[in-house]
């Protein structure tokens, strides 16, 4: 049986035996948290990501490359990465990219979103696994990679490297946005964990 402390949601997860492969697996994870609970939390984070994606469409700020966004929805991805594990974070960022593109954009936006989201989350996963960096630094790096991924896809779509002219401003914007998101996540995580520990 799991003790009461083991039933609480941990920050990092340790490898203990067979791990579930699906974000919606109903078997308890290494912390003893029921899979149905994880599914509910993932649903809430996905809703948060879509809300932030919609908010981005209302921001009257253009980078000069149509379809490229700031990546505010990465807040939900950062939270999932630290509340759960890399598989759920990758799953969330993929679904978020598809749905936000379908709901608030077009096929080009889906391509931009997927490129930025995948490069961002993969880089954040590597930095988090190194255990050398705090949440704001991991998120800031993810913000830079998010915009870099979008910019590279834009260069392929328009078939010109002229869009790389925007790289400095996009890297700076990604760094600032990612840092702000990381600070927000680091301040929010203790409260979310406290709530989850008492449900």
> Could you please report the per-residue DSSP string of 119-176?
HHHHHHHHHHHHT-S-HHHHHHHHHHHHHHHHHHHHHHHTT-GGGGGGHHHHHHHHHH
| Spatial distance between the Cα atoms of 129 and 38, rounded to a whole number of angstroms | 21
Residue 150's pLDDT is 81
Residue 126's pLDDT is 92
Which domains are delineated in the chain? 35-196 (1.10.1760.20)
Residue 116's pLDDT is 83
Query: Is the C-alpha dihedral spanning 36, 37, 43, 45 positive or negative?
Result: negative
CB 179 within 8 A of CB 139: yes
Helix (H, G, I), strand (E, B) or coil at 1: coil
pLDDT in tens, the chain (199 residues): 444 444 444 444 443 333 444 444 444 444 444 556 667 888 888 898 889 888 877 876 665 555 556 678 888 999 999 988 888 889 998 998 888 878 876 777 787 788 888 999 999 999 998 888 899 999 999 988 988 888 888 788 776 777 777 788 888 888 988 999 999 999 988 888 777 676 5
Residue of 67, 69, 37, 42 lying closest to 53 (CA atoms): 69
| Spatial distance between the Cα atoms of 63 and 34, rounded to a whole number of angstroms | 43
Residue 195's pLDDT is 72
CA angle 29, 139, 90 (to 5 degrees): 40
């Amino acid at each position: 049986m799991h003790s009461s402390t083991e039933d609480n949601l941990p920050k990092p997860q340790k490898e203990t035996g067979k791990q579930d492969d699906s974000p919606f697996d109903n078997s308890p994870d290494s912390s003893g948290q029921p899979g149905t609970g994880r599914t509910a939390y993932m649903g809430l984070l996905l809703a948060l990501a879509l809300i932030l994606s919609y908010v981005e469409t209302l921001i009257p700020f253009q980078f000069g490359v149509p379809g490229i966004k700031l990546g505010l929805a990465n807040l939900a991805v950062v939270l999932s990465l630290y509340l759960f594990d890399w598989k759920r974070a990758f799953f969330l960022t993929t679904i978020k990219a598809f749905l936000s593109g379908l709901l608030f954009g077009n096929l080009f936006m889906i391509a931009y979103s997927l490129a930025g989201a995948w490069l961002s989350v993969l880089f954040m996963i590597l930095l988090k696994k190194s255990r050398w960096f705090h949440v704001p630094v991991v998120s800031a790096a993810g913000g830079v990679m998010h915009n870099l991924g979008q910019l590279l896809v834009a260069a392929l779509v328009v078939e010109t490297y002229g869009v790389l002219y925007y790289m400095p401003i996009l890297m700076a914007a990604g760094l600032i946005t990612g840092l702000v998101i990381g600070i927000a996540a680091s301040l929010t995580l203790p409260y979310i964990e406290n709530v989850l520990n008492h449900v």
